[in-house]
Structure 1
Amino acid sequence: MRLKDSNIFKIKKYVKVHSCSLDVLNRDHRQAKSWVVGELIKSKFKGVGRLYKPRDIIEDMRQDYGINMSYEKAWRARENAYERVRGCPEESYNLLLRYGEALKLANVGTIFHMELEDDRFFKYLFMAVGPCVRGFLNCIRPVIVMDGTFLKNKYRGQLIVAVCLDGNNQIYPLAFGVVDRETDASIQWFLEKLKGAIGEVPNLGFVTDRKTCFSKCIASVFPSAFHGLCVQHLTQNLNDKYKNDTIATLFYNASRTYRESTFSEAWRSILAFPNDSGKYLNDVGITRWSRFHCPGRRYNMMTTNIAESMNSILKEPRDLPIASFLEHVRALLQRWFWERREEGIKVTSTLTKWAELVLQKKQERALTMKVNPIDCYQFHVKDLDKEEVINLHTQECTCKEFQAEQLPCAHAIAVARDRNINVYSLCANYYTNECLLAAYSEAVYLVGNQSEWKTTEEYVHMTVLPPKVVKRVGATEEKEDSKCR
């Protein structure tokens, strides 16, 4: 080391031996500031969802660097590292407007809306990426499954997902929302933005849990759409309320059957119970849960499982600051669109893999059926102890399955085989591999690093602050939330 204002150098030698007495040694290292430790451990947080607790930090720092530190310092170091890698929770809200602009420029047709409180504080957000919207409108069965779940970042809130099923029975994400909580006002806002994205869709349907905010707002924003309830939630409610496995089994049979006779038999048995379970289900609304009575097509979407699965996929990213979370969602869509497009290219069958398997199982049943013509369009099919009539012109069967699913039932397959008709001609376009490829034909493009985000000339930045009120969700509130499902 050179001495100040001279050409003389002073040489020092470090001797790694403490000369202080043991009673004055401090177990904590003052030079190991929390930001220094945070820099050392930041690589531990690069994987979303990795658990790295203060106790782990204390142990690693002791083993790797011989540093003893307090739990409080380890906690501060973890927060520091978390912020370095994933972004500051407060600043994340201020990035949303720019991120939304960049996303819209990178992916044409993307809808990105944000609602502010007092022109400064974040309130609601809606995001639907362009390729997802166009794929839904052109290639996806028009049934939207919605569900909400809690975010776990510093400012909490709730995530609303709107998803569908593609022709291969895979989750097809349509739209995402972030709100303070599921209320009439927040769900109304979300659905209005969704309608702005998809417009008026013929034969549209929704499937949700039993929250009243969903029922009221769907009826308000999409008055011509039917609204079905998740039969899994209703089954759980029946189990909790009446604790009777027989009722649950009868309800299962009644809710999922295509036939009036099967429904009537199960329904009479439910009404015969003296515990008012029939009244409960009637008050819920039979058209809301019975596939036979449904005023529209639910296809095979009887539960909200696909929305809950989407929430489960996003379980770990829900810890992230909001802008990082949205970017994680975008990256997930980018990967799904690429992978499913590549998988679809390899398929050589007319239908998707899932639809082909469904028809193969029905084909096995159809082999034992006898077909008798009635006229050029209608056919009488004998199926063991049942007899059905198929109308190929209207693509209907008296078993109701053909018209409900828009996939031929076993009776229709038997007629197609007997009349030498291509069975694929009886399938809705949704189930073809060509339609599946079209649903994922567009790429979902990345927005790049924050320094590379593009904006239009008209873009004017506004400072956006975190929500005014942080809604802390405890076990009691989660329990109450589950009750209204």
Structure 2
Amino acid sequence: MFFLSNLRQHVTPNPGILIISDRSQAIRTAINASHSGWRPPSAYHVYCIRHMASNFNLRFKSAEGKGYLVNVAYIPSNECCDWYLDALGTLSGEMVDWALCFKKDLWLQHCDEDRRYGHMTTNLSECINVVLKETGNLPVAAIVRATYERLQQLFVCRGRETHAQLQGGQIYSQWLLTSIDKNRESLPMMRVTHCDRRESVFSVEELKPVDACVAASIEWGHFVDPVYTIVSIFNVYEREFLPIPDEKMWSPWYGACLKPNPAMRRKASGRPVSTRIRNEMDAVERVEKRCGLCHGEGHTIRRCPNAPQSDP
């Protein structure tokens, strides 16, 4: 409660914030508190699909059902979502009942009113790890200072890049333009005339280049969310970071003073001992060996039957 309330007050006071987390009772209690600032319409809370899939697999032990559940969550249309739910029901009706006991807007992408922007898991928070690399062994004050200064440097670099794109007349982000160009390579040359997802039957009509251009002559800019524009991105990195004053200029503190416990200090040498409790999400799925020569499974290039034999 202390962390989330201060986070809302000092770091993310913007309205409409979306928070993605697991179904921890402590997090839900803190978010649902009357004065937390994390309740709609100020903020919205949704579940991490990776954690939901882990809980599903722990209960039902079905890799196929887990795959259907993830597809149900990720699919952006209601029709496809119903199809995957029916496929999940062919395995077990109890699996469907377990999935539908949660509110749809908490885990289904097509019911989130476009607040997730495709982010379905908490892995998004791990992208900042490269910025905060090698800060885990520092004292708390040094971690806070390093976080502040490294984020300040990151914002300056990204702000300059975005400003250069803005001055060059670019309207949308490079990631969006690259994704659109990639989709254009395959989509404009065909048109779906019949679709039967239940029977896995699709009928497509191949178009000539001229017909394809006519069929795809839609101004896609009207369907792009403003968050993908360069102006919106520049507004994020335009934020100013005030310099941290010298410690002698800080106002005096009369509250409680925290001191580290020397017994809990990490050893300077040797391999650190992890106290993290691992579950099935940390397990690495076993992949069959694949040959680099013939690309067949079950053997490597050393034992490949198609490998050229050297003369004795």
- Report TM bin, short chain: 0.5 to 0.7
Question: Which residue of structure 2 aligns with residue 385 of structure 1?
Answer: 194
Question: Which residue of structure 1 aligns with residue 124 of structure 2?
Answer: 306
Question: Which residue of structure 2 aligns with residue 174 of structure 1?
Answer: none
- Is 1:438 the counterpart of 2:230? The answer is no
CA distance in 1, matches of 2:263, 2:215: 58
Say if 1:479 and 1:471 are closer, same or farther in 2 by CA, change over 3 A.
farther
Question: Which residue of structure 2 aligns with residue 479 of structure 1?
Answer: 277
Secondary structure at the counterpart of residue 228 of structure 1? strand
Say if 1:385 and 1:287 are closer, same or farther in 2 by CA, change over 3 A.
same
Question: Which residue of structure 1 aligns with residue 135 of structure 2?
Answer: 317
Letter in 2 for 1:360: D
Q: Is 1:351–1:432's contact at 8 Å kept on the other side of the alignment?
A: yes
CA distance in 2, matches of 1:218, 1:285: 16
CA distance in 2, matches of 1:283, 1:471: 46
Question: Which residue of structure 2 aligns with residue 223 of structure 1?
Answer: 39
Alignment of 1:313-392 (within 5 A): 313-314=131-132, 316-347=134-165, 348=168, 349-368=170-189, 383-385=192-194
Structure of higher RCO (CA pairs closer than 8 Å, 6+ residues apart): 1
Letter in 2 for 1:223: R
Q: Is 1:205–1:296's contact at 8 Å kept on the other side of the alignment?
A: no
Question: Which residue of structure 1 aligns with residue 9 of structure 2?
Answer: 196
CA distance in 2, matches of 1:342, 1:428: 23
Secondary structure at the counterpart of residue 45 of structure 2? strand
Name the TM-score, length of structure 2 as normaliser. 0.66
Question: Which residue of structure 2 aligns with residue 424 of structure 1?
Answer: 221
Of structures 1 and 2, the larger Rg is shown by 1
Secondary structure at the counterpart of residue 20 of structure 2? strand
Q: Is 2:106–2:112's contact at 8 Å kept on the other side of the alignment?
A: yes
Q: Which has the higher strand share?
A: 1
Secondary structure at the counterpart of residue 207 of structure 1? strand
* Aligned counterpart for 2:88 among listed residues 270, 275, 279: 270
The alpha-carbon deviation at position 291 of structure 1 amounts to 0.9
Number of residue equivalences: 250
Secondary structure at the counterpart of residue 247 of structure 1? helix
- Is 1:462 the counterpart of 2:275? The answer is no
Note the residue ranges of structure 2 that are not aligned, 5 or more in a row.
196-212, 266-271, 282-312
Letter in 2 for 1:461: W
CA distance in 2, matches of 1:252, 1:345: 38
CA distance in 1, matches of 2:23, 2:128: 19
Secondary structure at the counterpart of residue 19 of structure 2? strand
Per mean C-alpha deviation after superposition, the further-off stretch among 308-317 and 221-230 is: 308-317
Q: Percent identity?
A: 18
- Is 1:213 the counterpart of 2:26? The answer is yes
- Is 1:242 the counterpart of 2:63? The answer is no
Letter in 2 for 1:435: S
Name the TM-score, length of structure 1 as normaliser. 0.45
Alignment of 1:406-421 (within 5 A): 418=217, 421=219
CA distance in 2, matches of 1:342, 1:416: 39
CA distance in 1, matches of 2:223, 2:83: 31
CA distance in 2, matches of 1:477, 1:275: 38
